[in-house]
Chains A and B, each alone.
Chain A
Amino acid sequence: MSFFDLKGTLKPLTALKQFGKKPHTIEYPKVKKEAADRYRGFHFNDLEACIGCGNCSTICQNAAIDMIHIEGIEGINGDSGLRPRIDHGRCCWCALCVEVCPTGSLSLTKDYLYVSDDPDSFLWVPGIDNPEGKNNLSFTSDEQSLNDFKRISMPELEGMERVKSFAEVVLGYNEEQAREEASRCISCGLCTEACPEHMHIPEYINAIATGNDKDALRIIYDNNPLPEMCGKVCTRRCEDVCAIAVRGEPVAIRWLKRYATETAISSDITREIVNPVIKEPNGKKVGIVGAGPSGLTAGYYLALRGYDVTIYESNAKAGGATMYGIPKYRFPIESLDKQIEYIEKIGVKIHYNTTVGKDITFDKIYKESDVVFMGVGFPKAWTLGIDGEDAKGSMQAVNYLHEINDGEEVEIGNKVAVIGGGNVAIDAARVSKRYGADVTILYRRRVQDMPADWEEIEGAEDEGIHIVPQAIPIKVIADKNGKVTGIEYLMAEMVPDERGGRPKPVAIEGSNKVLEITALMGAIGQQADYSFIEGTEYEGKIKVERGRIVVNEDQQTSDPKVFAGGDAVNRTADAISAIADGFRACKAIDKYLIEK
């Protein structure tokens, strides 16, 4: 290098050619920069779409999101009522909260500028504190979501294969399928709130996902002594509110419970795994009327607490409506037996074929026990109330199912009509199909209004059962021997309810149709049978209103010594509500007797 580098001195001066060129930088605040379409700016939350599952808060690795109560947003079924509040001083704008949001309510916006000297003002409830963000969305989960929206489909028997026997239709997940399905769960707990029994759903699903099936079973038995039954036939309100179901298929909570319970193949193994602590006998006696889900639940947990529990059951088997009302292709008898055996091994005494009021008086049970629990159910069917209903071959679906489940043979012929749209109607139809009949279901409203489980409705259709919606039966037609030969019905149109209720079916004049049948089954609801206390001193003591026993929040009746639960008490008429009643009653009985 020479002493004076002429080129090296002059070359940098060429920089002057840039003089006066427009710079890339912008003159803020005169000019504002529009952020890119995917920009990760401040959060916005669509408060209507948000269900408060809290997954955003869980994934946030900076703990910048907490879930808070907002005035005016109440927690309802499927919505915790909480909404995320974001500390933009902690946020790192990774946007994982957006991508794990199951509803897609949370997004980021193009807004990136916020200046304040008050650090507390960086704490926002998106959607409330920046409602204008709605018009400026940028980073959303529409393109890409980290939720697994697709359910592992359940292996089942083919529709035409099913109707040949009473073999269980659902085959159950294998280990790999169960693990995969369980790992879809985001553990938000909305299901726990929706479950009448508040089962520890996220916890046992997590145990299955991590390969701890035994832990899962122990968690399940914490507040449900009939989990295999629930795993097969529960009405699963948990799945209706599953956060994943907003944009995808709900996590198969019922099937996962079924998987966990099936790993214990006998009552001894169940006992070995659950290994419950049974307290020393405390000398108190509890008498239970009815070995249905509520009675069994109260009995099991009271026995664990050291009570001397005796259940009186009029039938030859325990289980109540789950034994006699549910067909065996949904809930095999071995499965129920295993659970009842386990409960008996814990110390619950069950007197079978003992009808209260006939084989033993209610008074005796009342006087011999410190507390009585009534889980008497709804065994008596409502009649249709139409002409000719007492014809031969016209029967109640619930009685039909009872007799079939008892192993009896019932003459139904080859053309059956079932009236009703609930699970009992579908069950009776599918059972009749298995006996070779051509089955038609007549229902007053539309198919989407049917109270039966959608999977059951689909199952029935797969098996070739005809469903005639908007059909109102008016008359049963019988031959001269009094044997049913047909059902006459009217077609109905759906009229919107002025008071905002669901549309009502109104018969169309002259739309009469007749369906030829050999048997008719009514399935429009059931009622209780209180004959065992009728005419006794207890009739007035235990208050009954509109067919249901009146209880307080502790399941206690107007007679403080008598508790009640199950179908005879609650309107939901499903097993899980009965189990919840039993569990609640157990805690209340324990408290009542200790305080006494």
Chain B
Amino acid sequence: MREKATTLYLGPQHPGITGNMMIRLKVEGDTIVKATTEVGYLHRAFEKLQEQRNWLQSFTLMCRFCVPETDPMEESYARAVEAIEGREVPERAKYIRVMVLELARLASFMLWYGGQNGSLGLYTMGQWSVGDRNYILDLFEELTGGRVYHMYIWPGGVRRDLPKGFEKRVIKVLNYLEKRLDDYDDLMFDNAIFKKRTQGVGLVDKKTAIEHGVVGAVLRGCGIKSDIRIDDPYEIYDQLDFEVPTAEGGDIWARALVRRQEARQSIRIIRQVIDQMPGGAFYNQIPNPLKWTLPKGDAYVRTESVRGEIGLYLVSDGGNKPRRVHLRGAAYVHAVSLLEDVLIGENVADVSAIMNSLGTCPPEIER
């Protein structure tokens, strides 16, 4: 006998997710028959605020678009401004930027490890990975002065040079993390519960992925090799040797496998960057920020974040502030429209795990 459908309001708080959003579920028993995502809990109008702030003030808002991974946002803004203005970036700054971006990826993976497992009730993993993430945050604190909001990559280069001996301390953390990733494998990827809860759950097939414009690890989890760092390389990614892992299956498990390998690739990239780090200037200074104007023009830049491609469109009318800033991150696609499709037929208990796996990040959705 078919059970009577019930409406269930899930959220706006979700385990393991930064920010708030709500999902209205129609369930029969504990099977979802319809899902409607409802956002609007977190709208801060950053894009609009930036239109009232000068080019440098706007920079400080960029990192706040997405709390778990702030640096790709700063990177996008810096590159867009540089493209409009034609400002050169010193070679050393490019290397430092890539190092910071990859450290940010690692930190974000650590948060994901915790979130993905936490959503399944496997809390030990979260204790470990969030604790280990602190070693990376310590590095950020030393380099940028901030642990989470770095405000470090800015137009013209980076804000400060590497402190003395910083590279050595990065290597030390990388060595430690590499060992820890093996521990994570024991606890997570070899865990029968994790496998059972993730294999065949939250399926995204290739066709759906392409239809929705899915990006990043979710796309690579469907077996499609796509990464902005390779497809449209920026900074010095074209000079680095790294792989873009993929996995077949399109379920939470496949996406987890992709991320598992990506974390190791980030370590590989950082080691190369440190080996090849050139000397010289780290910053091509902008003029007095109060009188700094950009020529009329626009720029669209693409940056790879842990959740996937970020697109930033920046328009200048020749004045001292942006005419328009528009940022579209991966979460907008994954956690609004795609999520509604993916949830159909799934179990209520798996919703959080699926949301995590798709890289749901409400602050990035609402901006």
A61 B60 Cβ-Cβ under 8 A: yes
Whether A143 contacts B160 in the complex (CB less than 8 A), given A15-B186, A96-B57, comes out as: yes
CA distance A147 to B289 in the complex (A): 8
B195 A38 Cβ-Cβ under 8 A: no
CA distance A209 to B183 in the complex (A): 59
Whether A24 contacts B135 in the complex (CB less than 8 A), given A37-B163, A59-B56, A144-B160, comes out as: yes
5 example contacts (A-B, Cβ-Cβ < 8 A) are as follows: A8-B195, A12-B124, A96-B60, A138-B145, A183-B292
7 tightest A-B contacts by CB? A8-B192, A61-B57, A11-B190, A94-B60, A5-B192, A183-B291, A40-B145
The 8 A CB mask of A93-117 against B (1 = contact, 0 = none) is: 1111000100000001000000000
A92 B289 Cβ-Cβ under 8 A: no
Q: Is B225 an interface residue (CB 8 A)?
A: no
Whether A184 contacts B141 in the complex (CB less than 8 A), given A8-B195, A93-B146, A210-B293, comes out as: no
- Which residues of A have CB within 8 Å of B291? 182-185, 206, 209-210
The 8 A CB mask of A1-18 against B (1 = contact, 0 = none) is: 100010111011011001
- Which residues of A have CB within 8 Å of B141? 35-36, 38-39
B163 A146 Cβ-Cβ under 8 A: no
Q: For chain A residues 1-52, which have a beta carbon within 8 Å of chain B?
A: 1, 5, 7-9, 11-12, 14-15, 18, 23-25, 35-40
Q: Is A259 an interface residue (CB 8 A)?
A: no
- Which residues of B have CB within 8 Å of A96? 56-57, 60, 289
A36 B142 Cβ-Cβ under 8 A: yes
Q: Which of A9, A11, A184 contacts B186 (CB 8 A)?
A: A11
CA distance A8 to B196 in the complex (A): 10
| A interface: dominant SS | loop
Q: Is A139 an interface residue (CB 8 A)?
A: yes
Q: Which of A38, A40, A144, A210 contacts B163 (CB 8 A)?
A: A38
B131 A23 Cβ-Cβ under 8 A: yes
A37 B151 Cβ-Cβ under 8 A: no
- Which residues of B have CB within 8 Å of A185? 288, 291
A8 B191 Cβ-Cβ under 8 A: yes
CA distance A138 to B186 in the complex (A): 41
CA distance A7 to B193 in the complex (A): 11
Q: Which of A11, A36, A182 contacts B145 (CB 8 A)?
A: A36
- Which residues of B have CB within 8 Å of A92? 60, 64, 149
Known: A15-B124, A18-B183, A184-B287. 4 other contacts (CB 8 A): A37-B142, A55-B290, A61-B58, A209-B291
Q: Is B210 an interface residue (CB 8 A)?
A: no
B290 A187 Cβ-Cβ under 8 A: yes
CA distance A5 to B287 in the complex (A): 64
- Which residues of A have CB within 8 Å of B151? 94-95
Q: Is B109 an interface residue (CB 8 A)?
A: no
A40 B146 Cβ-Cβ under 8 A: yes
- Which residues of A have CB within 8 Å of B292? 183
CA distance A255 to B34 in the complex (A): 71
Q: For chain A residues 175-190, which have a beta carbon within 8 Å of chain B?
A: 182-187
CA distance A568 to B143 in the complex (A): 62
B190 A24 Cβ-Cβ under 8 A: no
Q: Is A197 an interface residue (CB 8 A)?
A: no
Q: Number of B residues whose C-beta is below 8 Å from A?
A: 46
The 8 A CB mask of A506-525 against B (1 = contact, 0 = none) is: 00000000000000000000
- Which residues of B have CB within 8 Å of A148? 287-288
- Which residues of A have CB within 8 Å of B13? none
Q: Number of A residues whose C-beta is below 8 Å from B?
A: 46
Q: Is A527 an interface residue (CB 8 A)?
A: no
**Complex: chain A residue closest to B283, CB-CB:** A144
CA distance A12 to B58 in the complex (A): 46
- Which residues of B have CB within 8 Å of A18? 128, 183
| B interface: dominant SS | helix
The 8 A CB mask of B263-294 against A (1 = contact, 0 = none) is: 00000000000000000000101111111110
Q: Is A136 an interface residue (CB 8 A)?
A: no
- Which residues of B have CB within 8 Å of A25? 131, 134
**Complex: chain A residue closest to B184, CB-CB:** A15
Q: Which of A9, A38, A100 contacts B143 (CB 8 A)?
A: A38
**Complex: chain B residue closest to A186, CB-CB:** B290
Q: Which of B124, B142, B195, B286 contacts A5 (CB 8 A)?
A: B195
**Complex: chain B residue closest to A179, CB-CB:** B291
Chain B residues within CB distance 8 Å of chain A: 53, 56-58, 60-61, 64, 124, 128, 131-132, 134-135, 138, 141-146, 149, 151, 159-161, 163, 183, 186-187, 190-193, 195-196, 199, 283, 285-293
The 8 A CB mask of A161-196 against B (1 = contact, 0 = none) is: 000000000000000000000111111000000000
CA distance A144 to B61 in the complex (A): 21
Q: Is A58 an interface residue (CB 8 A)?
A: yes
Q: Which of A23, A38, A95, A144 contacts B142 (CB 8 A)?
A: A38
- Which residues of B have CB within 8 Å of A5? 192, 195
Q: For chain A residues 53-99, which have a beta carbon within 8 Å of chain B?
A: 55, 58-59, 61, 92-96
A61 B61 Cβ-Cβ under 8 A: yes
CA distance A94 to B145 in the complex (A): 9
Q: What's the nearest-Cβ distance from chain B to residue A215, in Å?
A: 15
- Which residues of B have CB within 8 Å of A206? 291
Whether A11 contacts B191 in the complex (CB less than 8 A), given A59-B289, A95-B145, A96-B57, comes out as: yes
A183 B145 Cβ-Cβ under 8 A: no
- Which residues of B have CB within 8 Å of A12? 124, 186-187, 190-191, 193
CA distance A165 to B138 in the complex (A): 67
CA distance A92 to B53 in the complex (A): 15
- Which residues of B have CB within 8 Å of A38? 141-145, 160, 163
- Which residues of A have CB within 8 Å of B135? 24
B290 A59 Cβ-Cβ under 8 A: yes
Whether A186 contacts B288 in the complex (CB less than 8 A), given A15-B186, A24-B134, comes out as: yes
A59 B57 Cβ-Cβ under 8 A: yes
CA distance A210 to B293 in the complex (A): 9
CA distance A34 to B317 in the complex (A): 45
CA distance A217 to B292 in the complex (A): 22
- Which residues of A have CB within 8 Å of B132? 24
Q: Which of A9, A39, A146 contacts B288 (CB 8 A)?
A: A146
CA distance A93 to B146 in the complex (A): 8
- Which residues of B have CB within 8 Å of A138? 145
- Which residues of B have CB within 8 Å of A209? 291
CA distance A58 to B131 in the complex (A): 39
Most central of A12, A40, A184 by chain B CB within 10 Å? A12
- Which residues of A have CB within 8 Å of B142? 36-38
CA distance A39 to B61 in the complex (A): 19
A144 B159 Cβ-Cβ under 8 A: yes
Q: What's the nearest-Cβ distance from chain B to residue A398, in Å?
A: 42
Q: What's the nearest-Cβ distance from chain B to residue A19, in Å?
A: 11
A184 B288 Cβ-Cβ under 8 A: yes
- Which residues of B have CB within 8 Å of A40? 145-146
Q: What's the nearest-Cβ distance from chain B to residue A140, in Å?
A: 11
Q: What's the nearest-Cβ distance from chain A to residue B81, in Å?
A: 15
Q: What's the nearest-Cβ distance from chain A to residue B103, in Å?
A: 15
The 8 A CB mask of A332-353 against B (1 = contact, 0 = none) is: 0000000000000000000000
**Complex: chain B residue closest to A93, CB-CB:** B146
Q: What's the nearest-Cβ distance from chain A to residue B58, in Å?
A: 8
Q: What's the nearest-Cβ distance from chain B to residue A541, in Å?
A: 53
Most central of A35, A184, A206, A209 by chain B CB within 10 Å? A209
**Complex: chain B residue closest to A7, CB-CB:** B190
Most central of B132, B146, B195 by chain A CB within 10 Å? B146
Q: What's the nearest-Cβ distance from chain B to residue A458, in Å?
A: 27
Whether A183 contacts B57 in the complex (CB less than 8 A), given A25-B134, A38-B163, A93-B149, comes out as: no
- Which residues of A have CB within 8 Å of B190? 7-8, 11-12
Whether A58 contacts B143 in the complex (CB less than 8 A), given A8-B195, A92-B149, comes out as: no
**Complex: chain A residue closest to B132, CB-CB:** A24
- Which residues of A have CB within 8 Å of B186? 11-12, 14-15
Most central of B135, B283, B287 by chain A CB within 10 Å? B287
CA distance A182 to B151 in the complex (A): 28
Q: What's the nearest-Cβ distance from chain B to residue A150, in Å?
A: 11
